[in-house]
Amino acid sequence: MTPALRSLLCSAPLEAIGGAAWIEPDCTIIDDVHGPAALRLFAEHFDARRGPARPEKVRVVSTVDPESAPPDRLGAHELLREFAGEHDVAFVHEAGSCDEGCSPSLDWRSGSVIASARRPDAAAAARGCVTLAAQALDLAGLLATGRMWVQRPRVQRIRLEGALSEGCTAHDVAIALRPRMMSESWADIDWRPAPDESLTRSLCALLLGDSPAETVFMHDHAVDSAPAECTLLLDGIEPMLGEGETARPAHGIEPTDVDRVYIGSCTTGSVADLRLAARVLAGRRVHVPTVIAPASARDVALLREEPLGDGGPSLASVFEAAGCDVGLPGCAACVNALGDLQQHTGEGGPLTVVATAVANVSTRRVARVLTASPVTAAQIALRGRL
């Protein structure tokens, strides 16, 4: 655990954990996530005469593709590049990276504290790092002083024991965990023996996208101050369906016709996620309208390039042959992107919808929405029925 993280989590007894601490982040990321207006605000309040207090711990990041970016995003890219050159800090350009919550895969050591305007990042969380959200003015002060004043959070330790059963995915674990997680707290996931990074990264992305916890990170050691704890036995996990604040095994849901299926979103629409669904749908046809929503524009392109198997059809071809619609990247059902979750059935009741992520959907729909893994959602799409 780095000094920055220890200062944030462990410098007070549990009963005093509601206090605050000065934190010197291990890295500060300045990026284009809020566009030129926020960047100009940042530049106006940062004392350029003094320069960054700790320039070696600053990264300026742009994900803008100069070939296709609109003028305002291109202006943000140029402003970032000029700022990095003026203050002699590292400039990282990764065109095509996800614009929301997916910082470039820099080589952070476990336990690092990253200050960024982006929301907590799944790749960092899987490595045991913590991302602190900072607005433009916060970043201006942080660069000038090298430290920031942070409220010390409540921490909930979640122990995952055993191995996943065949047919289950990290999505099923996330659905089972959601009702157990405390709101406005940090979730410290302890999963031993540690699975491969793709599985831990997937779990972090799912919990960051659709859970009450503000921040999720995975550690191989205990936080010093004893937090609240819960334990989940993975060998007892089955394919799950979530609804509201509840989670139940899929076979325990009352048989019901389904009106729509959404597979994908910003947190469940990576090529790895969609490949799980494609394996189920290959050579078969869906029985209800099914929307595939890749995580980003880059994932849309990859669907056309990635084969299902050696020499097999592309993932996009599999979905099209199965009768699915490949929709716009990103939100899908989460923000009712197609507007159909406000509709009713012919009998006047709400639609029944299965989706792989519904981070904000409760305020934007009248439909009954159940969450599922890409595997379970694809199986339901084939039957048209729970």
Residue 212 has pLDDT above 50, yes or no: yes
pLDDT in tens, 106-136: 556 778 888 887 767 777 887 788 888 887 7
Interatomic CA distance for residues 269 and 7, integer angstroms: 35
pTM of the complete model? 0.82
- Residues 287 and 322 sit within 8 Å (Cβ to Cβ): no
Local structure of residue 14 (DSSP, 8 states): G
Provide the pLDDT for residue 317: 95
pLDDT classification of 76: cutoffs 50, 70, 90: confident
User: For the residues 16-37, what does the mean pLDDT come to?
Assistant: 74
Listed as own residue / partner, the contacts of 333-336 with beta carbons closer than 8 Å and 24 or more positions apart are 333/262, 333/265, 333/291, 333/293, 333/357, 333/358, 333/361, 333/365, 333/369, 334/265, 334/266, 334/358, 334/359, 334/360, 334/361, 335/360, 335/361, 335/364, 336/361, 336/364, 336/365
Of 334, 227, 323, 329, the C-alpha closest to 269 is 329
Interatomic CA distance for residues 54 and 65, integer angstroms: 29
Residue 331 has pLDDT above 90, yes or no: no
Q: What order of strands is seen across the sheet that includes strand 155-161?
A: 215-218, 186-192, 155-161, 228-233
- Lowest-pLDDT range of 8-22, 66-80, 189-203: 8-22
Across the chain, what does the average pLDDT equal? 80
| CB-CB neighbours of 295 under 10 Å | 27
pLDDT classification of 290: cutoffs 50, 70, 90: very high
User: For the residues 343-369, what does the mean pLDDT come to?
Assistant: 73
Of 373, 366, 374, the C-alpha closest to 340 is 366
The residue type found at 8 is L
pLDDT classification of 345: cutoffs 50, 70, 90: low
pLDDT classification of 309: cutoffs 50, 70, 90: confident
Residue percentage of the chain with pLDDT more than 90: 16
Domains of the chain: 3-151 (3.30.499.10), 155-237 (3.40.1060.10), 246-383 (3.30.499.10)
Question: What is the bridge-based pairing of β-strands 246-249 and 240-243?
Answer: antiparallel
pLDDT classification of 373: cutoffs 50, 70, 90: very high
The residue type found at 135 is Q
Provide the pLDDT for residue 101: 42
